[in-house]
Amino acid sequence: MVRLKSDEMRYLSTSLWTPQLDKQLRKLAAKGLSARQIGEQLNVGRNAVIGRWARLRGLVFRCEVEREKKLRTEAAVRRRERKRRSDAAVAALRRGLARGVRSPKRARPAPPTGRSARQWACRASGCIKS
């Protein structure tokens, strides 16, 4: 049984492309072979070769660029809104402190109404007459 390093295991579990196949792909592409010929030698499809070769060269598809741009724009809008709310809260707190207004106190729990549990227990046992 051959033991693989954790990096190689991660690589194998997520893709059919291993570092060895990548190396072979680079060599065959450097020789000038077509994607179909490289695919036949590596036992993978032509489109798999084209896609992998594009990723190895760092090419990015237009739809990926547009999606990334959209996500970044949405994240920037959320960040600006969060900052605006935070700044408004800080400004309100500063105005209140300047006027001498204290921050609101915590609400105290309401006192129990009616008879307490001890009174009910005594009544049930007969020590308090109603």
Helices 35-42, 19-31: axis angle to 10 degrees equals: 140
- Residue 21, judged by CB atoms within 10 A of its CB (0-12, 13-18, 19+), counts as middle
Q: Are residues 55 and 67 in the same domain?
A: no
Q: Are residues 68 and 29 in the same domain?
A: no
Q: Which residue has the higher pLDDT, 100 or 31?
A: 31
How many domains, in total, are found in the chain? 2
Q: Are residues 26 and 45 in the same domain?
A: yes
Is the residue at 42 inside a domain? Answer: yes
Q: Are residues 51 and 72 in the same domain?
A: no
C-alpha closest to that of 32 among 17, 55, 53? 53
Lowest mean pLDDT among 64-68, 71-75, 119-123: 119-123
- Which domain, by its residues, includes 82? 60-98
What the block records as the tokens of 96 is 């209140």
State pLDDT tens for residues 31-54.
999 999 999 999 999 999 998 998
Is the residue at 117 inside a domain? Answer: no
Query: For 123, what's the count of Cα atoms within 13 Å in the CB-facing half-sphere?
Result: 8
